[in-house]
Amino acid sequence: MKEVVIYTDGACSGNPGPGGWGAVLLAGPHRKELSGYEEQTTNQRMELKAIIEALKALKVSGWDITVYTDSAYVVNAFEQRWIDNWLKNGWQNSRKEPVANRDLWMELLQAMEKNRVHIKKVKGHAGHPLNERCDELARTQIKVHVQNSDGKV
């Protein structure tokens, strides 16, 4: 077995606003859950951050990694070859504007280098237990941090 399956999700309360991300990593019988928080962010940034942090947590190289995300933004960047075009065009999009979240896209590409990473779509909020768990992890981060900062949820 040289395979890891990762489920990820990001969430934001307001967009922009407080955000959280969650990830569940599965390798054989092993399971690890990760989550984090950012005070002022966007949903798209949290979707990317979840994948980045999950990949950075891996202590393996040369493995097959399948990442499941409900983010069309992330999936389309790979399936529709947006990434290739951004790199070819000096990090400009099809409208010749700077690519949004370039810092995280660059970090993601770097985190993908040591393994064979495949990004797959999972339908969000459709009852998939691991996608729902990631959403719960992300939303819990927001709830805990916002509640601790001003007493409101």
64 included as an active-site residue: no
Strands, sheet with 3-12, edge to edge from the N-terminal-most edge strand: 30-41, 17-27, 3-12, 64-69, 116-121
- Cis ω for the linkage preceding 16 (within 30 of 0): yes
The answer to whether 47 and 69 are in contact (CB under 8 A) is yes
pLDDT digits (tens, 9 = 90+) for 64-103: 999 999 999 999 999 999 999 999 999 999 999 999 999 9
The C-alpha atoms of residue 122 and residue 26 are separated, in whole angstroms, by 16
Candidate list 22, 107, 135, 145, residue with the active-site label: 135
pLDDT digits (tens, 9 = 90+) for 55-65: 999 999 999 99
Considering its fold, how many domains does the chain have in total? 1
150 included as an active-site residue: no
125 included as an active-site residue: yes
Strands (E) located in the chain: 3-12, 17-27, 30-41, 64-69, 116-121
pLDDT digits (tens, 9 = 90+) for 26-43: 999 999 999 999 999 999
pTM for this structure? Answer: 0.94
Q: Which residue range(s) make up the domain with 15?
A: 3-150
CATH number, domain of 58, equals: 3.30.420.10
